[in-house]
Amino acid sequence: MSELLPERAVLLRDHVRDAATGLRDIGMEIDRDPTAIDRRLHLPAVALMRGCTVPVEYVSSPLRIGPYTYDMSSCLEHTLTIEELSYGDAGFMLACPGPLMSGVAVGALGDDKQRHAYYQRLAGPDPVWTFFGLTEPGKGSAAAELETTLTPDGDGFRLDGAKRYVGNAAYAQLGVVFCRRAPGPLGIEAVLVDTAEPGFRAEPIPTVGMRGARISAITLDHVRVEREQILGYDTLKPSRRGLVGAIRTLQRFRPVLAGTALGLTRAVLDHVRAERPALAGSARRLLEDLQDRLDATRWHNHAVASAIDAGEVRADRIAAVKTRAAELAERATLAAAGLLGPAALLRDPWLHKVYRDARAFEFMEGTGHIQRLAVFQGVAKGTFLR
């Protein structure tokens, strides 16, 4: 089904596939020590992640393949890149410096000056890790209910509250924090925060797997925020700012996250085939069934990402493909453990790692329960299965 991709996307996919070769051992190292990424910053895969969604005019040597130049501002190209890197190792990919979700938020909400400053910093010589701070301890990722406050303070503001389950926050230099300036959905803002500001603290949260994501908890205690740090404050109406930006970023990023889950799933199925090339009978049929599901979900994910590029953002379909991809990754890793025989998790450390990693996709960028509500809305409106 991938043959339906445009030529420039196929060239990109093949290029990233080469860059992802050999990432598994590094992924294992990062699983043991999430700071191990610091020793791998010279790798081409890191350069890819650093450049994702940074406009070419800011990058000293933008990615050029054949006649094409890439900055992954296309959701499809971003998704393909992340899928291939995740085939190498999803934890490695998530541990890399670069814009990740914060870049999508800044791109969607920032004014020219804010985007310029952000991209200049990301494209600088030093690696910059970023974070996307939405989820809160009491309210999860329910953006409309968040409680972190942005309070006027002299000629600026101060930020107070807590965020939880935020990737890379404990290691980042810069990030986007969603907060409440006033009651109601129009009172939500997105602010760009420098982690060196007094009052900002973040620490890692130990997890069962996907340790490269470096999930963190953030405490914000009177963090000074200038008006210029509020994304789109001077250029966008309140109805087009904070909450809209959170939703738009999550929707734009869900096919990318689905790509992460699908890259991991493909790696797992290939691993089973390599370890058990002579599988027969019901075991072979199980593997074939999983491969069919993978191919179908990949095709659907590419279609959803292409639709986003064409300006067609369908919340129900985006939610569905994220859920299918996350569930498939869990299903494939569970099946792989069975297909590789007794004590596979103790005998095969790589399988044990991806078995644990696959569980992360359920809660990243909205849990299955939240996605199902979006699918339900699509069914109720008659749009989902059309």
Q: Does 219 bind another protein (CB under 8 A)?
A: no
Q: Does 28 bind another protein (CB under 8 A)?
A: no
Q: Does 305 bind another protein (CB under 8 A)?
A: no
Ranges within 161-200 binding another protein (CB under 8 A): 164-165
Which residue of 1, 142, 182, 379 would you call a contact of another protein, by CB under 8 A?
Answer: 142
Amino acid letter for position 283: A
**Residue 46 or 335: which CB sits closer to another protein?**
335
Phi, psi of 264 (to 5 degrees): -65, -45
- Alpha carbons 192 and 201: distance in angstroms, whole number: 15
Q: Does 64 bind another protein (CB under 8 A)?
A: no
**Residue 252 or 352: which CB sits closer to another protein?**
352
Q: Does 220 bind another protein (CB under 8 A)?
A: no
Long-range pairs for 278-285 at CB < 8 Å and ≥24 separation? 279/339, 283/339
Q: Does 138 bind another protein (CB under 8 A)?
A: yes
Q: Does 160 bind another protein (CB under 8 A)?
A: no
User: Shortest CA distance to 73 belongs to which of 361, 308, 321?
Assistant: 308
To another protein, the closest distance from the beta carbon of 19 in angstroms equals: 28
Which residue of 196, 274, 343, 385 would you call a contact of another protein, by CB under 8 A?
Answer: 343
Paired residues of 157 in beta bridges: 152, 225
Ranges within 71-130 binding another protein (CB under 8 A): none
Which residue of 88, 99, 140, 255 would you call a contact of another protein, by CB under 8 A?
Answer: 140
Residues that bind another protein (rule: CB under 8 A) add up to a total of 50
Query: Which part of the chain contacts another protein (CB under 8 A), choosing from 85-93, 126-134, 228-236, 273-281?
Result: 273-281
Query: Which part of the chain contacts another protein (CB under 8 A), choosing from 1-9, 85-93, 171-179, 355-363?
Result: 355-363
Contacts of 189 (CB under 8 A, 6+ apart): 150, 178, 179, 180, 181, 230, 231, 233, 241, 242
- Alpha carbons 336 and 353: distance in angstroms, whole number: 12
**Residue 177 or 217: which CB sits closer to another protein?**
217
Q: What DSSP designation does 144 have?
A: G
**Residue 256 or 332: which CB sits closer to another protein?**
332
Q: What is the H or E stretch that residue 176 is in?
A: strand 174-180
Q: What is the H or E stretch that residue 191 is in?
A: strand 188-194
Q: Are 179 and 146 in contact (CB under 8 A)?
A: yes
- Alpha carbons 245 and 236: distance in angstroms, whole number: 11
Q: Are 130 and 172 in contact (CB under 8 A)?
A: yes
- Alpha carbons 104 and 369: distance in angstroms, whole number: 24
Q: Does 281 bind another protein (CB under 8 A)?
A: yes
Contacts with another protein by CB under 8 A lie at 135, 138-140, 142, 145, 164-165, 205-210, 215, 276, 279-286, 289, 330, 334-335, 337-346, 349, 352, 356, 359-360, 362-363, 367-369, 372-373
